[in-house]
Amino acid sequence: MTFQFDVYKPLTEESAISLLKKLHFFAEDEHVTCREIGDGNLNLVFQMSTQGSTKKWIVKQALPYAKVVGESWPLTLKRAKIESEALLQFAKFTPHLVPEVLYSNETLALTIMEDLSHLSIARTGLIKGDSYPNLGKDIGTFLAHILFKTSDLGLSPTEKKEKAQQFSNPELCKITEDLVFTDPFFDHDTNDFEPELSEKVEQLWKEDELKLEVAKLKRLFLTNGDALIHGDLHTGSIFASEHETKIIDPEFAFYGPFGFDLGHFIANLLFNALRRPPAQTELFGFIHDTWETFSSVFTSLWKEDKNNPFLQVNGYLDYTLRTVWQDALGFAGCEMIRRTIGLAHVADLDTIEESELRIRTKEIALDIGRSLILNRVEIKNVQDLHEFYIENNEF
């Protein structure tokens, strides 16, 4: 089979095999098995292997529309380039925490990368009760390096502005601006929630005090180009095992606020805590590990820098860490609300089978999300967050 490299066409299992043979990932005469395994909202994902060999590859290809909605929602193919370039960028600082990228092609909107099928998606594993002792530390390490080294703290002003241009990602940002920061707070068509939640949701829509805080957080997202962020760091964007963590899927990457990824990660751990009350201590342990590792690695990087005189100014590091934490809590609150009543949900809540329990858990998720947004300045640390979670979590 010939393969056309100069025209975009969605791959099939057959054409994906042909592509990888043309690129010498497999020999022409090898018997290759290929399965489309994509279960996300936007892309095709093919897993390819040969029997009796360790050769296994993943081909991820962007579709020109959002798979979760259908062809009526067109979406730029440029996101595939953003994703592969973000993975390469992250690999410069934390190569052990991202999949290796072996090939990318902008025209075909695809990336070939290391197969990670020996790991599980963290969301799925956490729902089953798998244990990930390194998860918090690994995410904290990843965030500290990426945020410090791609920001004005780690780059010259010119380099940073060039990177911000390289990672300009307006269409994917628009999805977040709408689905995370706008639609769930108004009566919008994209929202999706059980009728039993209507009364609570309508109350939320009427609350100007809350909407004012969301407007401030949205403005941060729109204007604060602190560093290269992942942009969609939920537990479905992480492969993990007891020993390894790999961050995948940075197609939403762009220059955004320091606290955004941390907030999304925390929110998704809180969803799992709501789903599995007996695992609450373990999940708050992950949040603790994430924050402690993040702040200590970020602090070390900060203290190593002897060129920027402002980094020696008393109080500046504390101010920066405090702002990251506060903003993260606000972003976590928006994520909790949008994943409960917006377009894109989480399995942690949606697969609670017993309907009364599911609705009550979602009500609590909304209460916690709302209070995180409103009280983000008062919640000073992980212990305060845990106490606050317990106070808001009354069945």
Which residues within the stretch 34-73 sit at the binding site for Mg ion (CB under 5 A)? 40
Distance of CA 168 to the CA centre of its chain: 17
Residue 68: name its binding partner from Mg ion, ligand SR1, none (Cβ under 5 to 8 Å by kind).
Answer: ligand SR1
What is the number of residues in the chain?
395
Judged by beta carbon distances under 5 to 8 A according to partner kind, the member of Mg ion, ligand SR1, none in contact with residue 175 is ligand SR1
Binds Mg ion (CB under 5 A): choice among 249, 261, 289, 348: 249
Map tokens 């929630």 to a residue. Answer: 193
Q: Which is nearer to ligand SR1, 75 or 364 (CB)?
A: 75
Total chain residues near Mg ion (CB under 5 A): 2
CA separation, residue 150 to residues 97, 142, 339, 355 (Å): 16, 12, 29, 45
- Angle value at C-alpha 98, between 145 and 135, nearest 5 degrees: 75
Residue 66 CB, nearest distance to ligand SR1 (Å)?
4
CA 4 to chain centroid, in Å, comes to 33
CA distance 133 to 267: 19
Site string for ligand SR1, 133-172 (x = CB under 6 A): ----------------------------------------
Q: How far is the CB of 212 from ligand SR1 (least distance, A)?
A: 23
- Give the span between the Cα atoms of 80 and 37, in whole angstroms: 17
Q: Which two tokens stand for residue 362?
A: 């979602």
Contacts of 262 (CB under 8 A, 6+ apart): 143, 233, 290, 291, 294, 324, 325, 328, 331
Closest among 395, 163, 133 to 289, alpha carbons compared: 133
User: Which stretch in 221-229, 244-252, 255-263, 300-308 sits in contact with Mg ion by CB under 5 A?
Assistant: 244-252
Query: Which residue stretch of 21-29, 111-119, 156-164, 173-181 sits at the interface with ligand SR1 (rule: CB under 6 A)?
Result: 173-181
**Which option in Mg ion, ligand SR1, none does residue 269 bind, with CB closer than 5 to 8 A by kind?**
none
List of residues 6+ apart from 318 with CB closer than 8 A = none
| 232 interacts with ligand SR1 by CB under 6 A | yes
To the nearest whole angstrom, how small is the minimum distance from the Cβ of residue 321 to ligand SR1? Answer: 26
Phi and psi of 342, rounded to 5°?
Answer: -90, -160
User: Which CB sits closer to ligand SR1, 40 or 125?
Assistant: 40
Contacts to Mg ion by CB under 5 A: 40, 249
* Residues near ligand SR1, by CB under 6 A: 41-42, 66, 68, 175-176, 179, 232, 343-344
